[in-house]
Each structure stands twice: as C-alpha cells, then as structure tokens.
Chain A
Amino acid sequence: MPATANMDADLQPRRKGRPRTAETAAPSLVEILNLVRTEKATTRQELERESELGRAVVADRLGTLTELGLVDESELGTATGGRAPRLVQFSAHRGSLLVATLDQTALGVGLADLGGKLKMEHHEAADLTQPVSALLDRLITLFRWIVEMQPDAGELWGISISVPGVVTDSGESFFQNATPPVLPGWESFPLVEKLVESFDVPVWLRSSVETMTMGEFHSGAGVGHRAMLFVKVGKRIGAGLVSDGHLFRGAQGAVGLIGSVPVSAGERHGTLETMAGSEAIIREGRQQAERGLSPILAEHLRRGGEITAVEVAQAAHMGDAGAIDILSQSGRMIGQVVATLANMLNPELIVLSGSIAQSNDILLAAAREAIYGASHPLVSRDLQIIRSQMGSSSGLVGAAIVATESLFSPAVLRDWIMAGRPQAHPQFEALRGRLETQTAAVAAVMPPPKA
C-alpha cells in the first residue's frame, strides 16, 4: 500500500464507538506541551489554570510527555509559602536541528536545540554561483561534521536553511515537500530531497531576511519587544516585520522587497538596491578612488587591493572623506524608504543589519537622521534605531525558530506527538515513501554498472 493511502486512513475521523485514547489525549497534550514550551506555565498549578483542565488530566498528560522525553519535572521552583512547587520545563535538548545560512559569499552552519539556542556554529566563505551539487556536498559534509562533534545533542529532528531569495508558501505541507526555484539551477536539482534522504528529517527553507528577522527578534535586539522592523543591507536590501510577536508573511511569503522601491539622488534614479546596496557602494568607491576623492581607497587600489563594500566602510571609519560621502548617501536613501514603512507600521524598534551597517556608524547615523526626520512625531517619539549585533548568527537562530514554530504548531504537533518524534508525521512519511518509490524507479530504469 502506498504511504499516501496510509495517511488518508489515519486522517479519517472515527465515527462510531469510544474514541481511541490517542485521539482524545492529543489535543490536551499539544496544549500542555505548548504552555510549557513557551513558559506560559511553569508549574502544575499554572498548567491547570491556563489550560482549564482538571488536576488528574494534567498529571496524566505530564506523565505521557515525560515518558516521551519532552518535559522535565526534576527541578524545584521557589516556594511562595508552603512546599516549593516542582518546575515543569520543556526538554529543549530532546531533539536537535541542523541549521544553515546561504548567502552570496558565505555559508554558515550550526546545531540548535528545540528552544532555538545554538550549540555550535561555523561560517566560511562560499561562492553561491558554484553548481548546486557542489554546494549540497559542502553542506552535507559540514552537517555531518557538526553531528560528529556534538554526540550529546538530542536526536536530529529537522534541517532549516536560510536562503538568499523569496521562498513562496505553497501551503501544501508544513515542511518543504520539494526544492523551490530560489536560485538559478535549483529548479532542476533536488536539494531538499537529497537532504531528506541523507538525514531522514523534514527540511524547511526561508528567505534570509525572514530568518534574520526571527533570529534578531528571539535572541538579539528584539528580545522584550512586540513590534520590530528589520532591514538587511547587502547586495540586496530587504525588510522583515514582526508584529505582536509574529513574523508577517503576507500572501505568499514575498514580504519586504524594499530593494525594488524607486529612489533618486540628484540627477540619478534607480531602485533602492542599485542606488544604495553594496554593489552601488563598491561602484562609487572605485569611482571616488579613481577621481582622487578617496585617498585611502586610492592607496588600496594602488597596492593591488580589491574594493569591497567592507573596504569602503573601513575607509570611512578611518576618516576618508570620499568613503564617508558614499555611506552617508546610502544611509540617507535607505532611511527615506524605511521612514515610509515606519509611518505605516509604527514599530518600537528598527534594526539595521548586514556587514556594512554592522561595521560602520556612518551609514546608521545617516539612516537614523532620515527616518527620524521623515516620521510623524508619534511614530518617532519612542522609536529606537540600532544596528544588529548578531551578524550571520541571526540567520541560524531564525532558521531554528522557523523549524520549531512549525513543528510545535498545534495543527502539526497533533499528528506526531503520540509517536514522540516528528518523523512519524503522516506528511513526512508520505514524502519519504514518495522518495523511496522514485529511487526504486530510477534504479529499475538504470541498473548499476557491473563492477
């Protein structure tokens, strides 16, 4: 029987007789686990109050969750008169997630627990224009190395990757069912499928601006805030919005493509990306050096160096007038576009990220001036505009959060919680079945060469 048939059978509601324990218990298990996981309830009393379930039911469900290794009650809390209550804590180390960030020039990998906390990370230079198969090989090598270096990490439950492009939401599955055409060459290469086959876990892909927004919100400058606007400045310029603690994904996940907004500076017109992104900064830097307006960059060129955006930022930092001009102008243009968003959205916090914004105060200062100058007084009154401190780590943490939010969303959790591991989810079993069938079909058409 194909795996899909299995899934259908499982999803059929039972109409007669007493319901199975699994069916009645699952909703309350899901609710209790999520109350514990999000720390809305940390004792049995709080769980009873928040869930409005009886003491016996809470005790029974906690027993099940403890058996599944998802909850731990071994620590004592602070007594508020009488005996100290047992703390109910989420076992974030029960499972682990492999995470990665791919951007134009670098590859980052890490291992996170189910709370989104990174246990290990590594970043290296990489060329995204290399063939996808080479990129996948490197990713698998680094993932295997991390798993080997972290033998005590929990069982692997997922892989989540931050990619430099929009990943539209098909809504078919809670994880990635196939490889979306994010980059050239991906439409004909089964990247996601190969990862599923290699590690036997579900795979998530999200745009880097989305993962970085999530990472910054959960572990960086966004901690303790409710409404945050995140702006990533690089070759591409994009924005992410967290509203009331949730990432806004729009109709298809194509949110924050502010790099396409037309802007002008004097006689010049173009999109924000082409006028203020890192390629514009490089182009202007080269021109300033050649015209003799930037002594530090000119010296750098004379010594055979290459002008990069970071070079321009460092020259500006050392007081080079030409470089300061370039970054101020870039910051001003970004600020003008972001101010429009700020007036519309009223964020508490705007975080600027990307290597240029992070290594240099000049771009940030110019952006701040433009945003404060163009914002309604009510919008700018308590608005903070800061630079990210997380670097590429925000993408890794955010990728982990994407996976945990998906795994533990009630509609998904319900279908795997009784098995204690997400690989038991019918949708994942169906994908695995489909991939096995495909592999078998390919093997039948092309028998392996004889030795």
Chain B
Amino acid sequence: MVIEGLGPHGERASAPERVLLLPEDKARARAAGLRVAIVLHTLASDWAKQQLAGIVGTLGDCGVAVIDVVDCGFTPEVQIEALDRLIREAPDAIISLPVANAKVAAAHARVSAAGIKLVLLDNVPTGLLPGKDYVALISADNFGLGKMAAEGLAPHLGEDGEVGVLGYDSDFFATNEREIAFVKWMRINRPRHRLHVARFPSLAEAGATAAAMAKKQPDLKGLFVVWDTPAIAAAAALASAGLSVPIGTVDLGKEAAISLSGGGPIVTIAAQQPFRQGQTAASTTVTALLNRLTPAWVALPGVSVTASNVVESFQTIWRSPAPREVLRQQNLLR
C-alpha cells in the first residue's frame, strides 16, 4: 500500500492493519459495555450509508452499542448542537465528520475536554491536535486520489490544450488535498497543458460553475472535479452547452459508474473505500477505548477505476452488485 499524502499536521500515514482487532480485544470491548455516538455530514449519500454500515457492523462485532446517529445535513449549526447534546449523553466515544473548519472546531474540542474519545472522519478543523483534542483521523489518501485521477485523465487530454479543475470553495481537508495533488501532477507531468481552476460554493452551483468555465474556455480538453456528484452536474451542464469533455473525478457513485461504463463523459475515477473506512474508524475507536495508543492518521488507499474494472470495483467498494445498466453496458446480461 502506498499512501501519497501526509496527514493534516504532516503525519505519516498508518495502514488500517495497525488498528486490527484480535478476538481478545473484541472480548475485552464486549465486557466493558461501551456506548458510541456517530455524527455524519449527511446520511443521504451512498458514501455515508456505506461508511455507517462499516462502523455500525464492526462496533456490533465488538458488542459496542451505537446510541445515536446524527445527520447534520452539511450544516455547522446542526453539528454544534448535536455534539453539545451528545456530550450530555456522555457516550464513551463520538465518531464525527466535521462539516466545516473553524466554525465547528470549538464544539469538537469540547467533546475531548468532556473526557469523551473523539474519532474524526475525513477532516480535522485547523488547530485541533491528535492525542489532545481527538484520538485519530481516519480518511482516504486524498492526495493520492487527486494524483490517481490525474494519471487516469492524462491519456484522454491530447498533447496540449486547456484543462479545467473544478474545486470546492470550502476549507475542507479532503477536497483541498485532491485539488492540490491533481494540479501538482499535471504541472510536473503535462507541462504543455494550461490549467484553469474554478470553485463551486455549493453542490447546487456546481453545474453553473462548470458552464461558466466552459464559456470562458470553449476548447477544454478535459476536466477534473473533486468528487462525483458535482462531476455529474458538471457533465450535464457541459452536455447542454453542446460540449463533450472527458472528466476525471473521485468516488464511484452509481451515476458516475454508469457514465464511466458507457464510455463517458466520465472516463476515470479514483474511488474511496467507504465501507472499509467505516470498519477502520470503528476499530480505531475500540482500540482507543481499550486505552491503547492509536496512530494519529489512518489512511486508506484509493482504487483506480476505469470502464474495464468498473463491475468488480463497484462490488468491492459498495458491497453490492453493480447497477443493471452497468452490467448491460459491459455485456454481462444475457
């Protein structure tokens, strides 16, 4: 496993195997009668659902009760209120995905201050420190995902020309790392392409941001979008402007899988492993609750997905069969 990026404080990554639970660990956890609450940015996406399934299932294997699962709807205020309410519930640990940076930092710091172990997913508000304010961060190798998407998109870009980068206009560790890595790889390996960066402030505006970019740069040879949902919106906006631009993105959502399998416009995907990430978050939490030292950053490598491995990748990542349309496109239905 090669992890390309560094953690939020420059930490070296640890592999998920570092927090592997042995049968005796599980027995000790079961005997302790532990309680854990989960606070996620959303429960609507497949990514969130799979991650939750990984967390809850693994905690179940260890006899740890999940006492609450909160859907923050991407709203910092909801998250702050939920964390303060959960602190009063006094669970042994809280697993949280911080939906913002500075806005939610103090609320997360209060969790640890109250003696509750805090395990973070995907994002660390600036200023929070591992060991003091939280136990560990569990995330994908987001820098590696950006690089992987660049490597996958490069063969579709021709010798030179304009390439668009659609970033997320929010101070979020995961999307920042992907954007930096994509741009870095392109500058080094495809110096003849000119990069144009635009950032969408919210999901609803992703399509419009892509359309505005295409208007300014009608000769786009390719586009990188920092995750799949805005990539689908961007693809639709470009299609309605009569453009067909190869797109690289992160995460194998259902629609992205169909586009990839059907020959575009999405041509390459660097996928996270949400189910495995959920399992890793749960084992890290149990490791910490057994008072063992955990790594500050546990990172999961990405999976490079193209049309040729979309079916098995979908199964590995989502633990469910690929959509029928993908199976049809791949001539797997008789």
**A106 in contact with B180 given A121-B126, A359-B295, A389-B129 (CB within 8 Å):** no
- Distance between Cα atoms of A359 and B293 in the complex (Å): 8
Contact with A along B100-129 (1 / 0, CB 8 A): 011000000000000000000000001101
**A101-145 residues at the B interface, CB under 8 angstroms:** 101, 106, 108, 117-125, 141-142, 145
Contact of A122 among B127, B131, B176 (CB under 8 A): B176
- A393:B9 contact, CB within 8 angstroms: yes
Cβ contact within 8 Å between B296 and A106 = no
Q: Judge if B14 is at the interface, Cβ distance under 8 Å.
A: yes
Q: Which of B6, B18, B171, B295 contacts A123 (CB 8 A)?
A: B6
Q: Known contacts being A122-B177, A220-B129, is A355 close to B171, with CB within 8 Å?
A: no
| Min CB–CB distance A320 → chain B (angstroms) | 13
Q: How far is the CB of A425 from chain B (nearest CB, A)?
A: 29
Contact yes or no, A355 B11, CB < 8 A: yes
Is A392 part of the contact surface with B, judged by Cβ < 8 Å?
yes
Asked whether, in the complex, the Cβ of A120 is within 8 Å of the Cβ of B126, the reply is yes
Q: Known: A118-B126, A310-B12, A317-B293. Is A142-B6 also a contact (CB below 8 A)?
A: no
Q: Is the CB of B296 within 8 A of A391?
A: yes
Q: Does A287 sit at the interface, judged by CB under 8 A?
A: no
CB < 8 Å A-B pair total: 78
Q: CB of B328 within 8 A of chain A?
A: no
Chain B proximity of A154: nearest CB distance (Å) = 15
Tell me whether A314 and B131 are in contact (CB under 8 A).
no
Q: Which residue of A lies closest to B132 (CB)?
A: A389
> Closest approach, in angstroms, between the C-beta of B100 and any C-beta of chain A?
13
Is B143 close to A, CB under 8 A? yes
Min C-beta distance of A353 to chain B, whole Å: 11
Contacts of B253 in A (CB 8 A): none
Q: How far is the CA of A145 from the CA of B184 in the complex (A)?
A: 11
Task: Decide if A358 is an interface residue (CB 8 Å cutoff).
Answer: yes
B4 within 8 Å of A by Cβ? yes
Given contacts A119-B126, A317-B293, contact A124 B14 (CB under 8 A): no
CA A220 – CA B9 in complex, angstroms? 13
The 7 A-B residue pairs with the shortest CB-CB distance in the complex, in nearest-first order: A392-B10, A391-B9, A123-B10, A123-B6, A389-B131, A393-B9, A389-B129
Q: Which residues of A contact B (CB under 8 A)?
A: 101, 106, 108, 117-125, 141-142, 145, 149-150, 219-220, 310, 314, 317-318, 355, 358-359, 361, 387, 389-393
- A123-B7, A317-B18, A391-B10 known, 17 other contacts, Cβ within 8 Å: A108-B6, A120-B126, A121-B126, A122-B177, A122-B180, A123-B6, A124-B184, A125-B6, A141-B184, A141-B187, A150-B171, A318-B18, A359-B12, A391-B130, A391-B296, A392-B9, A393-B129
Chain B interface (Cβ < 8 Å from any Cβ of A):
4-12, 14, 18, 101-102, 126-127, 129-132, 143, 171, 176-177, 180, 183-184, 187, 293, 295-296
